[in-house]
Structure formats: C-alpha cells, structure tokens
Amino acid sequence: MSSELLRQIPKTDLMLSRPALREAGERYSRALVKAAVQSQLDALRDAAMSGALTEMPDAQSIEAAVLSSLEHGGLYSLRRVINATGVVLHTNLGRAPLGGEAAAHVAAVAQGYCNLEYDLAAGRRGSRYAHVEKLLCELTGAEAAMVVNNNAGAVFLALNTLAKGRGVAVSRGELVEIGGSFRVPEIMRESGAELLEVGTTNKTHPRDYISAMDDYGAGMLLKVHTSNFVMLGFTEEVSVRELAQIAHERGGLLMHDLGSGFMFPAEALGLHDGHAVWSSLRDGADIVCFSADKLLGTAQGGILLGRRECIERIKKNQLTRMLRIDKLSLAALEICLQYCRDSQLAAEKLPTLRMLSMKAEECRERAEALRQLIAARVPGCEPRLVEVGDEAGGGSLPGVTLPGWAVAVDFPGLSVEEAEARLRARSVPIIARVNRDGVLFSVRTLFERDGEELALAVGELWGKEK
C-alpha cells in the first residue's frame, strides 16, 4: 500500500516545470521554489510511510501547497503556528507571544543599530543591563537587578557566584526537574555548589535547614518553586520569611528560584494564584530569580533581583558574558516592564496576561463566534461548543485549571489523528487539542486573526473528503 503511494509522488523536476511554479521562480528565486517543492514532497513521503496519508494529492494540490508555503513562510523551519491547545505558556510553542506593539518595537530595534552598550548621554561605552535595571528596581523594590538569557542561566550564575565550593541546602521536596532539562541537583553540581538535601519529599521543617547550616556548614539556603507539580495531603514547607531569618542569623544567604512571577499581585488580574515577584524580596530573600517568558509574558530571559552586593558580584562573574541576554529579547523585556507600571495596561497589552485572565464567559462568547464562522464557511459542518479546562502551562501555575471553551469539529472520513496531523501540516500549522470529543480548538490561546485561518483549514479538510 505505502510503496504504491510512494511511487505516485511526482518528480521534483516535473513539479518545477509547471507554469505557476516557473513563474514563482522568477518572483522568489528558483532555488527557493525548488527547496519548497522538495520539502513538500518530503512531507508527503513521510506521511505515506507513516500511514497518515491514504491517497496521494494530485500535482495541482501539491503546487497549491508549495505556493501557499512560499507565501506564508512555510519554507522556514521556525515559523508562526496557531495555538489552539488552550495552554497559554506552551513551552514547545515558544512560551509567551509578544503583542503587536512590542513586536514592532523589537523590529525597530532590530532593523538598524541600537544603543545596546552605548551610553547616549556620555557618548561612550555603556552597559546592556542599564536599560532595564532601574525599571526592575522601581517595579519590585529590589536594591539591584540584572538579566541573563534565561532563568536556568540565572540560577546557575547566582549559585556559581555566591555558593561555589559551599554547601547549599535544598528541601528534598523541591529537587525538581523542569521541562525535561532543568534539574536542580545537576545545575547545582555544574555550578560548583555542594547540594545538601534536607527534609523529606513531603515535609521539611525549620530545624532541617538549621541543622544544614549549623552541623553541615551550609552557606546558602535555596528555595525552588516546584513548578510543574503540586503536592497535596500531608505536606509542610518552610516559608520564605522563616528561611530568611534562619539564613541571616547565621550569616548566610537565601536564594529563591521563583521560576515564574508577576510584577503585581495575582488578584489584580483576577487570578487566585501566582506570585508577585517582590513578595519574596519583601519576605527577606537575598536573591530572587525567574523567567521573563513565563508569567511576566515577554521574550526569553532570566531575571535576577536582590541585594546590591550579591548582584554586583554576579555581574563581575566571567560566566555572565556567556549567558548574556541579546538585544532583541532586551528590547521586548523593556517594553513589557514599561507596561507593568500599570496592571491594567499590562493586562491589556501583554497577550499572556490577557489570555490568563480571560473569564469562562468571554471564552464562551469567542467560541460561539468561531463556531458561527466555521459553520458559515463550511456548509454541512456542524461545529459544537465544548467546555474545556485550559492551563497556564510552562510550570507557572501548577494545579490551576482555567475554565474555558473550545469548538469541536468532526471531519467525515478522517480519523481524529489524521485530522490533527493534517492541521499540523499546513503552512501556518494549527496545533489542535484532541480528546474524546474529537478535534478541539480552544479559543483562549487564539489571536483575532486566527479565526479566518481556522475556518479556511476546516473547509479544506472537509472539501477533500466530499
């Protein structure tokens, strides 16, 4: 069956000789068109081999797919996708999206030169960190701040600077793995700090930390947000305030890897969970670090806040140079922080916050609008509204379900898996949600412009089978 299908795949040269593709070659360059044809044919070969494809599309459809991929940047490996999963900070889908104005600001900085490390007032070399340090301090009350390329880098750098060759006490309940690659014990070993495990998985008491410092010589206590899981039942952990007191009475430091946080109380967004990053500082942590691309809602980055002497030492660490943030992420971070001066403005301008604070009622209205759009565009299709539990994702609000709504669509003649795969194979791929209700488009994570594209995609899949 599959070998018969493979034989039906047209030859590249035959495709390239078609008038529409010859003409496209003049517009885009022949080399690009050839690459687009090959990538289209490769995808068909893969689909035929895996059994996802049961019938070879004709040359005309392949040609249309090639043209569409050229037009929509489908030739690129890294490209825009439509997130219909309802997972707001989807780590596999690039975490926090930027809003239009933020993206335009980044583009403006990218399109020419910028004062990345140039002090405009003095007319000489400046610091890349200066662009956001003051803002971060204003927003959080921190004495000092700096940013690096991600939070894993921030944790590593802080440990390497402040605890290399020293014992660092961490609760056994917080020795987590995040995103499959960030493992607290391993980061700690690589940083040169010595891990002192304290307490048990479910319970850690103040006396456990005290003993680590008094009996085993720990110089730092580290608290880690257990980002991607929650422990229920018989559990106990020590608060930041208590840990700070224990550390400071013994001349040690307290670091809090918060993972993710807001610049204002979660209640300002109508959420019941999620830390304001300054609460840890206020409670006495010497260093607090978190990702820029989780709840804060901007491009990739790791933010360090804390006591001036700690931050100054971190800045002087040679490794900082290897973990530095790039100018585009920095531009995105600065505009995000400007928005954060006002929680209402931030909730309006930052897509992540807008999506997180979207109430079920609004999701329902959006889902209904999408349902009507699809029904109008695709005669015969009867899309349904389905209640779903959306997620913050990115390990940012573990255990929190965001009540949302989705549109479910049936594709006659296609299995749910086949429909999901075809949506994913489009030049603007659609990442849908699949469960016992079929293929679902959760509306929380959709942008305004995505509706038309979704309706078009549903129409094409329907048309195929008619």
Ligand X SMILES: *Cc1c(COP(=O)(O)O)cnc(C)c1O
Query: How far apart are alpha carbons 359 and 343 in whole angstroms?
Result: 17
Phi, psi of 361 (to 5 degrees): -60, -45
Smallest gap from Cβ 182 to ligand X, in A, equals 5
Residue nearer to ligand X on the CB measure, 144 or 299 = 299
Which residue, 224 or 314, has its beta carbon nearer to ligand X? 224
Instruction: Rounding to the nearest 10 degrees, give the CA dihedral for residues 43, 46, 48, 50.
Output: -140
Print the binding letters for residues 367-396 with ligand X: x by CB under 6 A, - otherwise: ----------------------------x-
Using the contact rule CB under 6 A, the part of the chain among 14-22, 192-200, 219-227, 279-287 near ligand X is 219-227
Which residue, 59 or 230, is less far from ligand X as judged by CB? Answer: 230
Q: How far is CA 27 from CA 70, 196, 462, in A?
A: 10, 63, 32
Site string for ligand X, 237-266 (x = CB under 6 A): --------------------x-xx------
Residue 225 vs 371, nearer CB to ligand X: 225
Query: Measuring CA to CA, which residue among 64, 52, 39, 69 is closest to residue 5?
Result: 52
Structure tokens of 42? 């490769």
CA-nearest of 443, 462, 426, 361 to 80 is: 426
- Residues in 154-213 at the binding interface with ligand X, rule: CB under 6 A: 155, 178, 182
Given 15, 65, 220, 224, the residue binding ligand X (CB under 6 A): 224
Backbone angles phi, psi at 82, to 5 degrees: -100, 120
Nearer of residues 331 and 430 to ligand X, judged by Cβ: 331
What is the CA angle 293-275-191, rounded to 5? 60
Q: Of 33-41, 146-154, 309-317, 339-347, which segment contacts ligand X by CB under 6 A? A: 146-154
Residues sharing a CB contact under 8 Å with residue 225, sequence separation 6 or more, in sequence order: 174, 256, 257, 258, 259, 260, 275
| Closer by beta carbon to ligand X, 44 or else 152 | 152
Q: How far apart are CA 374 and CA 409, in angstroms?
A: 9
Residue nearest to ligand X (CB): 259
By CB under 6 A, name the one of 69, 83, 85, 150 that touches ligand X. 150
**Contacts for 327 with CB less than 8 Å, ≥ 6 apart:** 109, 110, 114, 116, 128
Helix (H, G, I), strand (E, B) or coil at 232: coil
Least distance in Å: CB of 43 to ligand X?
30
Q: Are 9 and 47 in contact (CB under 8 A)?
A: no
Q: Minimum distance between the CB of residue 291 and ligand X, rounded to whole angstroms?
A: 3
225 binds ligand X (CB under 6 A): yes
Pattern 282-301, binding to ligand X, x per CB under 6 A? ---------x----------
Chosen residue from 219, 274, 302, 383 binding ligand X by CB under 6 A: 302
Q: Which two tokens stand for residue 293?
A: 């691309």
Distance CA(398)–CA(259), nearest Å, equals 12
Shortest Cβ distance from residue 278 to ligand X (Å)? 17
Among 69, 83, 161, 227, binds ligand X (CB under 6 A): 227
Which residues here bind ligand X, judged by CB under 6 A? 150-152, 155, 178, 182, 224-225, 227, 257, 259-260, 291, 302, 395
